[in-house]
Chains A and B, each alone.
Chain A
Amino acid sequence: MTDRPATLRCDRLTARLGDREVLRDVTLDLDARTTAIIGDNGSGKSTFARLAAGLVRRASGGLRVLGLDPERDAADLRRRVALVLSNPDAQIVMPTVAEDVALSLRSLRLPREERGHRVAAALERFGLEALADRPAHDLSGGQKQLLALCGAFVRAPDLVVADEPTASLDARNARVVADHLLADTGHALVLVTHDLALARRCERAVLFQDGGVAASGIAADVVDLYERALAC
């Protein structure tokens, strides 16, 4: 494994959506390669994911993502952090599969040839090379989510933040997507999920409750704790 700075450091982090406080005094230090974020709906998981991806501004407290300040170092953060959402339709912009993957490289201003090589390699890695010229919005749900992953990974991010990436997929596609996310290709993963079996496959887990951290630690232990709470 390569040396990398702490994935995420939060110090009394608070975030608001409008007048509502959705995260309150969150203090966390995430260094594991793969971390699952679990908890009930409305517990603040997705807001936490968007904060990590630099899409939501914090109200107060400290936040460092890969050692960067998401507000001051926004451009660096976007180069190094990729986001995958649960709805692949919202992540597909261009009409064909290959063009959509290439869009992710647009801001890097790479030479056309290198862009082509990187797109081809990413399509091959995600098993999409045969679909390169197909209309992206005509793909199946599983293929669309793979395309969204491909668009995220083609930038070779240091951190992938995935917000319920398997929520709308069948078991087979969910497993394929999870395998790609969890594979050790040099990136760290922060995975928001309701799939507790998937959460167990991560190294660490954080349990969110009412906008705060209820537990964090080894994934299996945190998931066990959550399951016991659900059974009560």
Chain B
Amino acid sequence: MYRPGTGWLHRRPAGPKLALFAVVAVVVAALPPVWATVPAAVGVAGCLYALAGMGLGEGLRALGCQAWGLRGMIAITAAGQLIFLGPEQAAANTARVAAAVLVAGLVPLTTPVSAMLDALERGLRPLRLVGVDPARVALLWMVTLTTIPVLARHAAEVRDAQRARGLRPSPVRGTLPFLVVALRHADDLGDALTARGIR
């Protein structure tokens, strides 16, 4: 998520930045499935992080952290593609998908969530024509994003509770208590949002 900074990318307004990086991510994702795509996709992501105004070292460290966070997705994509499409297409497809996600990841890294919320709300204004409230859609997206770490912590607490009772944590046994905790959290969150004047 957001890393405070003063680099050129941090200073860009959220709306144009979102639009620019959406275009770059789509271009990277649309590269052809050939070997040359691998260095090209990785190079684009590497250059953007290195030149993002966080400093070369900090930029590459941020890229490493983001890539490590995607390791599961990269492994599953590569394995699936390798089985059905062969090594060249597997490498190219995995590289362009991972690079597109990494490029998109630069936006939340350099943009405060409140600025993204404002930009999203502005960008979604045309949805008013079909009866959709852009403020609600933007807030829904934001709450979804910020609730992920909370739910991850609840999942860890459920696993700890299972261990404390001498049980080996398992997704099957953990699903129901996790759902109960998550739904209770959703109720409390809804109450808190309403009480803060947010519909």
A-B contact pairs, 10 of them (CB 8 A): A78-B195, A82-B196, A90-B188, A93-B142, A96-B113, A106-B197, A106-B198, A135-B1, A137-B153, A155-B197
Q: Is the CB of A89 within 8 A of B195?
A: no
Bound: A132/B45 CA distance, A: 30
Query: Per-residue 0/1 for B165-199: is the Cβ within 8 Å of any A Cβ (1 yes, 0 no)?
Result: 00000000000000000000100110111111111
Q: Which of A82, A89, A99, A108 contacts B112 (CB 8 A)?
A: A99
Bound: A104/B139 CA distance, A: 13
Residue of A nearest to B108 (CB): A95
Within the complex, the shortest CB–CB distance from B155 to chain A, in Å, comes to 14
Q: Which of A55, A93, A95 contacts B2 (CB 8 A)?
A: A95
Q: Is the CB of B189 within 8 A of A90?
A: yes
Q: Does B55 contact A (CB under 8 A)?
A: no
Bound: A85/B1 CA distance, A: 26
Q: Is the CB of B195 within 8 A of A83?
A: yes
Q: Is the CB of B112 within 8 A of A155?
A: no
Given A55-B194, A95-B1, A155-B197: A89 in contact with B150 (beta carbons within 8 A): yes
B contact residues around A85 at 8 Å (CB): 188, 191-192
Given A95-B113, A99-B112, A102-B114: A82 in contact with B1 (beta carbons within 8 A): no
Query: Per-residue 0/1 for A59-95: is the Cβ within 8 Å of any B Cβ (1 yes, 0 no)?
Result: 0000000000000000000110111010101110111
Q: Is the interface of B mostly helix, strand, loop or mixed?
A: helix
- CB within 8 Å of A: which B141-179 residues: 142-143, 146, 149-150, 153
> Interface residues, chain B, CB within 8 Å of chain A?
1-2, 4, 112-114, 142-143, 146, 149-150, 153, 185, 188-189, 191-199
A-B contact count (CB 8 A): 77
Q: Is the CB of A90 within 8 A of B192?
A: yes
> Interface residues, chain A, CB within 8 Å of chain B?
50, 53-55, 78-79, 81-83, 85, 87, 89-91, 93-96, 99, 102-104, 106-108, 133, 135, 137, 148, 151-152, 155
Q: Is the CB of A55 within 8 A of B185?
A: no
Bound: A93/B153 CA distance, A: 15
A contact residues around B191 at 8 Å (CB): 50, 53, 55, 83, 85, 90
A contact residues around B198 at 8 Å (CB): 103, 106-107
Bound: A89/B192 CA distance, A: 10
Within the complex, the shortest CB–CB distance from A116 to chain B, in Å, comes to 10
Bound: A135/B188 CA distance, A: 20
Given A94-B142, A94-B146: A104 in contact with B197 (beta carbons within 8 A): yes
Q: Is the CB of A104 within 8 A of B196?
A: yes
